[in-house]
Structure 1
Amino acid sequence: MVMLIKLEIETNLQKEIDKFSNINKKRLSYSHLVLKQ
């Protein structure tokens, strides 16, 4: 039971991290585009 809860928390954390890194990637590629011009 405890393991299950732990797993769920980790999954949610991973989703948040993925979301965050996706935003960062978009921001990075955007600034990269701006720099190229």
Structure 2
Amino acid sequence: MTPEQRKQNLRLGLILASVAAVFFIGFFAKIILLNR
């Protein structure tokens, strides 16, 4: 694996992680708001 490919994989991983985090936070906030 070349450093360029590793850099692209790292960027893709960060994007996926941030999307998953936003989705999880939104889901968690919805549960809290519905349970109030």
TM-score scaled to structure 2, two decimals?
0.83
Q: Could you report, residue by residue, the CA deviation over 1:13-34 in whole angstroms, capped at 9, with x for unpaired residues?
A: 0000111001001001011112
Q: Match for residue 31 of structure 1?
A: 30
Moved segments of 4+, more than 6 Å = none
Long gaps (5+) in structure 2: none
> Structure 1: which 5+ residue stretches go unaligned?
none
**1:3 positional shift:** 1.0
